[in-house]
Amino acid sequence: MVELPLQLVARGKVRELYEVDDEHLLLVASDRLSAYDVVLPTAIPDKGAVLTGLSVWWFDQLADLLPNHLVTARTSQFPEVLQPHADALRGRSMLCRRLSMVPVECVARGYLTGSGLQDYLQTGGLCGEQLAPGLVDGSRLPEAVFTPATKAAVGDHDENVSYAAVVDLLGAELAAELRRLTLAVYGRGATLAAERGILLADTKLELGHDTGGRLMLGDEVLTPDSSRFWPAGSWQPGQAQPSFDKQYVRDWLDASGWDRTAPGPELPDDVVERTREKYVQAYEHLTGSSLDSWLREA
């Protein structure tokens, strides 16, 4: 990543967060890829641009449901101190409002897979909510379920928790609002994706309060890193689904014999290219625009 003349506030698995002033932060998405909570040594070209461009597009699609932290993603509108770095930041960075983040991952699931499937196989339910017996990998749930998780530090694993645990942590009023907004965002995302031949299996959101106490979307939203997108035409419960996200890498890692501990293995060139294609396809299928047009616009 480029060295910026700003104070680094945090470095996550994929993003760097820089302090711009008392009210604003710069969020920069790298091409790093994490799997099983381990940052892999091989980057995926253009991944950061896909995550940023899709988030900007979705923020616009969701604006009537709740506000978001985005000020601008156009580098020409960034502070003067960042203009010498505009080329490196273009397409992968957002100037954002500071938020006080809610310490819960807000997850919605419309289909059973991933850690939700493991939870179901062990308990017969999801985060304490019982489900019908006989569901399999890829089963569509009768209705989307709010399945919150605790936030983990880099290298640690998020842990699914019950809704009652969120109530205990945050209070009944805020917990109910988090559930309502998460399911509303999932519903809008699933509807728009379905119109484009894509199933939104699940998604996780980051929410926080601005200085005025308004609850709003932060970080990224409805990207291939925070969501599972499946081609609707090939959906078949009872097996792993083809997807427009990093599941392709997860599958390769599983077959490689890696034990899911750091450091992760280097990815072969063909896996890198195929994964890049998956990310770019997600952007272009959902937005109806090319990734190149986003990079020119930013």
Average pLDDT of the segment spanning 144-161: 76
The full DSSP string for the chain is: ----SSEEEEE-SSEEEEE-SSSEEEEEE-S--EETTEE-SS--TTHHHHHHHHHHHHHHHTTTT--BSEEE--GGGS-GGGGGGHHHHTTTEEEEE--EE-SEEEEEEEE--HHHHHHHHHHSEETTEE--TT--TTPEEEEEEE--EE---TTS--EE--HHHHHHHH-HHHHHHHHHHHHHHHHHHHHHHHTTTEEEEEEEEEEEE-TT--EEEES--S-TTTEEEEEGGG--TTSPPP-SSTHHHHHHHHHHT--S-SSPPPPPHHHHHHHHHHHHHHHHHHHSS-HHHHHHH-
Question: Residue 155 above 50 pLDDT?
Answer: no
pLDDT category of residue 106 using cuts at 50, 70 and 90: very high
Single pTM value for the model = 0.93
Q: Give residue-wise pLDDT tens across range 233-253.
A: 999 999 989 998 888 898 899
Domain boundary assignment for the chain: 101-247
Q: Which CATH architecture has domain 101-247?
A: 2-Layer Sandwich (3.30)
